[in-house]
Structure 1
Amino acid sequence: MKDKVLKLKSTMPQKIGKILLWTLVVFLLLRGIGTLFKQDETVTAQTLINSYVKDSEAKKTVEFQGKAFAESFCLEYLTLNGRDTEGYLKRLVGYIQKDIDMNMNMLTDVRTEAFSADGYKLMWTSDNTFTVDVRARVKYFNVEASSSELVKQNELMKDYQIKDVCLRIPVLEKDGHFQITGYPAFIPGEDKANVEIKPYSGKEASEGTKEAILSVMESFFKIYYTGNPGEISYYMLDSTKTLKGLEGRYEFVSLNDITVYQNTENRYYVIVKLSIKDSTNGVTVPQQYKIDLVRKEDKYYIDKMNV
């Protein structure tokens, strides 16, 4: 009987398997450790967004405050009194940097008063400096140098011209505080936009429809200028929307002109020109409204109303 020869199985596959297994374990461990130090991309993005929003809000605050600072300076800068130049310079000290000489060569009888200022444009020139364009309304008092003191005082109360003055004012911001860094420049006012107005064109409604809508508009505007929101809501397509009127501050005088366009079977575009009276001083003022009107169950209701 022949002895059976035993063949030893190779351990190489097991070794390779163990190596692969440990390699995988080490890889997973390293990857897991890496994620502990690597910031989540979602968190990073949100952090960037929050930072941007915060910076944007801070910049808006600086712009708002800087514009108000420039407006306040403008009022002081354009208010002159030739008899009190020292007081004028003292008023400006709180606004301007020390090396700017604001002395003006003005006659004794010069008198101006800036009574309103509106900053209408802000332009950044560096990280912490900008210019503000301000439009001011100024009273220029007309006083003759040869007039007596009593006459001068009386003239100051009644004899003046009002003119618009525009300034470009350089401003520096530091830690929420502001300073004028140079001489304000007198600049021309901005021209109004050169836009060709195209009149609304469409199919005009019949005379009968126009007369019916005219009657509704007259009734509505009488209520709009004197009534309360509840009374006004009677004329609105959506009566749940509150429309506040003028409540007697102005009075309806007359409806001067009306044009009615029929857009669909039951929708109309109405242009109304009317006159109202200021109840305080009695001045009659022209007005114009553009109204989207809807006919519903033989009644007309206001859907939208604009100027």
Structure 2
Amino acid sequence: MRSHMKQKGMRFLFWGVILYTALSTTVVWLLQFQLIPSPSSSNPVQAEQQEQKPAINVSETAFAEQFTREYLFWTRGNEEARAERLKSFWKPKMDVQGGLSFDDAAWNSYTRNVDVWEVKERADGSSIKDLIVFAETVLTNVNNEQQQKRVDRYLAVAIRPAGETYIVVETPHFVPAPIATVTESVVTEEEVKKAVPDQIRLEVEKFVTSYWKVYTTGSPEEIGYFHKDNTPVEGLTGVVRFEKLENLKVYQNEEDIYDVEFDVRLTDLASEAELITHYTVHLIQEGDRWYLTQIREGEVDSK
């Protein structure tokens, strides 16, 4: 009797193992051919979030970081060496010094640490990406090597693919450090441009000059006063000094709506080096008041 029960138990165990193996194999094949949903895809929200997460392009960030190290490394009187180091980064016909002038620079600079903070791809199909790079720099007094100071900067760098590497397509420019309440503005495509009367041009020049004086010295609330939505804007107060506007061009695309292009000459307060940056802004006139509605740094080049 006991022997019979033992044999029956062994048969039950044998067929149980066979059945488990068959079921397991069947489930594996069904998953393989996606005939049943896998546990990882059972949560559609999680799956969608995984699909939307952008991939990190290591070569882009490495290029931008390497460029930033060279761009923020200079020694007054040794500009030719700096230009040679930067030569391979620029697109053709770019300024070899990237908009910086060191004739009156009081401090030399080198980079200690750099990290890409943000990467954005332009929606215009140009393949250009805008990277914000954080750089920890050390400045040394040109007349006293023992006098040094640390300056943290955020540099905007626009790049696009060029064969197996990349090139910088616009003059880099400093941007304010990121804050928790950043509001992005969207720049619309330019419409048909019309020349404006001299009186309008003078008013625009006065307004833009006043804006840049406040943008480099005022509080976010004072800067926001120039914007149509009156939203506080973080400026470059304590980072650069406004010198003057150059190459101002004013066009009218609609009644009381104007496109303005110009170069801004700034002085880096930490080093006294000069920086020239191109800007495009959209202005609107309401009565005797002017307001800024959109602003963009740099020049678009999708070629």
Q: Same fold (TM over 0.5)?
A: no
> Under a length normalisation based on structure 1, what TM-score does the superposition of the two structures give?
0.41
> Under a length normalisation based on structure 2, what TM-score does the superposition of the two structures give?
0.42
Higher relative contact order, structure no. (Cα contacts within 8 Å, ≥ 6 residues apart):
2
Bigger-Rg structure (1/2): 1
